Structure 1
Amino acid sequence: MTIPTEPIGSLPRSSALGQSLTAHASGQLDDSDLAKRQEQAVADTLTQLEGTGSPVLVDGEQGKPSFATYPVAGLSSLSPDGVVIPFADGHTRQLPCITEGPFRYQVRAETYLRAARQLTDKPVKQAVIAPSALSLLYPAAPIDGYSREDFLRDLADEAEADIRGCLDAGAHVVQLDFTEGRLSLKLDPSGGVLDDFIALNNEVLGRFSPEERTRIGVHTCPGGDQDSTHSLDIDYAELLPRLFQLKAGNFYLQLASEADPDRVLAVVQEHLPPTARVFIGVTDPIDPSVETPEQVRDRVLLAARYIPVDRLGTCDDCGFAPFADDASTSRDLAFAKIEARVRGTALAAQELGL
């Protein structure tokens, strides 16, 4: 027995790919040339991840415009004036909103997965955006002839198809990105919005069998963009009891950047569902220093005091570049942190006699 360890999803784009994205946005590079350069970036990402010893690979989201908006990339019926997400350093990200229905994904995550699996025989994980995040695409003013209820029904169907397509395409695991969970408690301290998010996500997750849900996970973090977060000041104790109501087999929790990990782990110990596995974050993508394997080992050993080892895994706190234009972290730094996670997890397993 070993302790499983997995990346979360996004990795920084190379400077060459960043330049290609800029050229494409200005019309100086066509779609086919950009696709070729993104494929090269995926191949390089997979090779470098294998070099770290990572037992599970990801494509690093090299082809996604962002972890959140890939399903609507190319959708013509969008308005740019959607929900604004403020970060602690003062910068913001703004979501689009739809202007008409019916709502349909333009891109499914399985297309990224199938492309990556052609380049490696290692297990490949696929991140998808949680339907709760996409529920924010519906505007505040109702759309004539297309109610919010109609939209949520269509969204649930599309989200189910997105997840199921990845399972059918051979994903090692499908991970729902649920960064808006903690943020919702900042926007609505009563928890009403969070309860709505949980209900919507469970509407989708409930369509999968218990066996299928062993290959489905949920990731939560306080956001991570341009070396800043949007909800680190929200107490995990307000989120985790509700988070663990989700019908998922795996949970990926940011923890390395928490000020009081013992307190968080105690909450996990109390509320973790009896058949779920929890992957704890042992590397902080926002911290510019590289964790040592020994630091990672000690974080795992601390978690093992609260969580049965057969239900424990490790991960990074969050993705390293969830938006394509985020160049705040270098690829070299990201891969060094991942290698530290892999080595440190192995050291902890050895210490625990596994």
Structure 2
Amino acid sequence: MNVHAAVATVNPPFRAEHVGSLLRPAELLRQRERFERGEIDRDALTVAEDQAIRDAIRLQEQLGFKFVTDGEFRRRSYHSFFYRQLGDLSIDTIGGADAVGAKDGGGRGAQPMALIRSRVKWTHPINGPDVAFLKANSERLPKITIPGPCALHFRGGDAAVTASAYKDTDQFWSDTVEAFTLELKSLADAGCSYVQIDETAFAKFGDPDVQASLAARGDNWSELIDKYIAVTNRVLRAAPPNMRIGMHLCRGNRGGHWHAEGSYEEVAERLFNALEIPFYFLEYDTPRAGSFTPLRYVPARKHIVLGLVSSKSPVIEDKAALRSRLEDATKFVPLDRLSVSPQCGFASVDTGNPVTPEVQKRKLALVCELARDIWSDT
């Protein structure tokens, strides 16, 4: 690999990235439990959240990231808070998240399910206050993470859409596109120019078990890919023109468990070409994601963030091995269009993955060190 051959990045995605969520500090979890028991009020909980987020900002700055997130510390999960702001909508696991055949927290977990009891409607800025807090506490670029516009449908299908709130799915999709369009506009108005959409469905379509479960509810998985691309493109075309929007894909990340396995091969050509998104955060930390071969479909105008470091495992990756994997990826995408990151967040739900804060810090530091070694830039 020609070290330092690639030019420095000045706009997202940066050479060193992370997906957004961070382990909730033990004290914050304790205060949240007190709040739920009625022992403290909302103002006291907000004070605890504010301090935890300031500490997370300092950590990201110390390690060398060019952007900051709030660690998603004000949310239970990356998707539940957001969709609750859009109506009487539930997008969380029903019946628990126990893993099938789990060994040390590494098995297939229960797929979250959706309940749609009202129409999807944007009524107020959802993440605008988060932007304001980040901007008030750091000079680095604020990055906001939101679930994708197809996340709700993927977890319930047409049956969930039409169970009580809608007579047809076309209205549901129109409402969803409008809600996301208004939220992106409100983010731009708040001064946000960097947004990551978490749309994990695309990475799961290659799993035969997922394909079978979709078929059982009446969905053709291949047709669903085209539908989700079309819906997402409607959102992207209506987005503020100066906003940098990337998409994160993974196969599940809950308490060290996963929801799917399989290569990107079956979705890659459409994912990288028909979907009008300029950069992707791709899970590539285990063999469950397959090889880099599907990256041959990535067009020259697009950038790939390789999720090579695991947020699920406490094992610290070998930097030389990561460099070797990066070199393998350059057979399909040149170095100047690659970045590195963990494969997902460290706490897609507030209980977090089975790693310690120290392991999290070492893994994030490793990402930054690798980026500096290869590009002299993070």
* 2:8 alignment partner, one of 2, 13, 25: 2
2:103 match = none
1:196 match = 227
- Bigger Cα displacement from structure 2, 17-26 vs 37-46: 17-26
Tell whether the 8 Å contact from 1:67 to 1:322 is kept in structure 2 after alignment: yes
2:178 match = 157
Q: 1:284 and 1:102, CA in 2 relative to 1: closer, same or farther beyond 3 A?
A: closer
1:34 pairs with 2:40: no
Structure 2 CA distance, aligned partners of 1:301 and 1:238? 24
* 1:108 alignment partner, one of 126, 133, 136: 126
- Bigger Cα displacement from structure 2, 221-230 vs 74-83: 74-83
Q: 1:223 and 1:145, CA in 2 relative to 1: closer, same or farther beyond 3 A?
A: closer
Q: Which residue type is aligned with residue 139 of structure 2?
A: D
Q: 1:330 and 1:206, CA in 2 relative to 1: closer, same or farther beyond 3 A?
A: same
Q: CA deviation at 1:76?
A: 7.2
Q: Which residue type is aligned with residue 173 of structure 1?
A: Y
Structure 2 CA distance, aligned partners of 1:62 and 1:185? 32
Q: CA deviation at 1:38?
A: 1.0
Tell whether the 8 Å contact from 2:16 to 2:65 is kept in structure 1 after alignment: yes
Please give the secondary structure, in 2, of the residue aligned with 1:176.
strand
1:98 match = 116
Q: Deviations over 1:87-146 (max 9, x none)?
A: 553643644423123533666223222211111001221111110103346725432665
Please give the secondary structure, in 1, of the residue aligned with 2:129.
helix
Correspondences of 1:1-354 after superposition (within 5 Å): 1-2=7-8, 4-73=15-84, 77-78=88-89, 87-88=99-100, 89=107, 91-92=109-110, 94-101=112-119, 103-104=121-122, 108-135=126-153, 136=155, 139=160, 141-143=162-164, 147-186=168-207, 187-188=210-211, 190-208=221-239, 212=242, 215-231=244-260, 233-244=261-272, 245-258=274-287, 263-264=291-292, 266-268=293-295, 270-349=296-375
Structure 2 CA distance, aligned partners of 1:30 and 1:110? 23
Tell whether the 8 Å contact from 2:162 to 2:168 is kept in structure 1 after alignment: no
Moved over 6 A (4+): 79-86
Structure 2 CA distance, aligned partners of 1:201 and 1:175? 13
How many residue pairs match? The answer is: 346
Q: CA deviation at 1:184?
A: 4.2
Q: 1:260 and 1:223, CA in 2 relative to 1: closer, same or farther beyond 3 A?
A: closer
Q: Which residue type is aligned with residue 349 of structure 1?
A: W
Q: 1:75 and 1:26, CA in 2 relative to 1: closer, same or farther beyond 3 A?
A: farther
TM-score normalized by structure 2? 0.81
Q: Which runs of 5+ in 2 are unaligned?
A: 1-6, 10-14, 101-106, 213-220
Q: Which runs of 5+ in 1 are unaligned?
A: none
Q: Deviations over 1:128-173 (max 9, x none)?
A: 1110103346725432665432222111111122223333433352
Percent of paired sites with the same residue: 21
Q: Which residue type is aligned with residue 227 of structure 2?
A: D
Q: CA deviation at 1:226?
A: 0.8
TM-score normalized by structure 1? 0.87
Superposed CA RMSD in Å reads: 2.9
Q: 1:73 and 1:28, CA in 2 relative to 1: closer, same or farther beyond 3 A?
A: farther
Q: Deviations over 1:51-110 (max 9, x none)?
A: 112222211111122111122346773468987888553643644423123533666223
Structure 1 CA distance, aligned partners of 2:92 and 2:310? 31
Q: Deviations over 1:289-345 (max 9, x none)?
A: 112443333333332333122211122111110111225222221121010011012
Q: 1:260 and 1:73, CA in 2 relative to 1: closer, same or farther beyond 3 A?
A: closer
